[in-house]
């Protein structure tokens, strides 16, 4: 049984592809989602699998890096 379309995950995928400037892939994703394709189906689609996983991996690394090494906070005096 395939999972139904996971709207928040699809939204993250769309934002990621748009941020990386992969508009052709974004159009493909939107077309497949419009056809009722689930996130699982998208990730294992032969044309998207490797690229999508690579971008999601990069995104997760960026998020993890921000969690481990958050940007310096400014003090009331304006200094980090």
- pLDDT (tens digit, 9 = 90+) per residue, 63-75? 776 666 666 666 6
What's the pLDDT score for residue 60?
76
What's the pLDDT score for residue 79?
57
Kindly report the average pLDDT of the chain as a whole number: 70
What span, in angstroms and rounded, lies between the C-alpha atoms of 59 and 55?
6
* More confident of the two residues 57 and 74: 57
Q: What are phi and psi of 77, to 5 degrees?
A: -80, -5
- Alpha helices of 1-80 — where are they, by DSSP H? 7-19, 23-34, 39-43, 49-68
* More confident of the two residues 26 and 65: 26
Q: How far apart are the first and last CA of the chain?
A: 51
Domain ranges of the chain: 7-68
């Amino acid at each position: 049984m395939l999972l139904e379309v996971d709207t928040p995950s699809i939204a993250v995928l769309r934002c990621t592809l748009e941020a990386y400037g992969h508009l052709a892939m974004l159009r493909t994703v939107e077309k497949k989602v419009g056809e009722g394709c689930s996130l699982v189906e998208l990730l294992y689609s032969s044309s998207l699998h490797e690229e999508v996983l690579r971008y999601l991996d990069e995104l997760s690394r960026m998020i993890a890096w921000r969690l481990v090494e958050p940007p310096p906070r400014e003090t009331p005096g304006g200094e980090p």
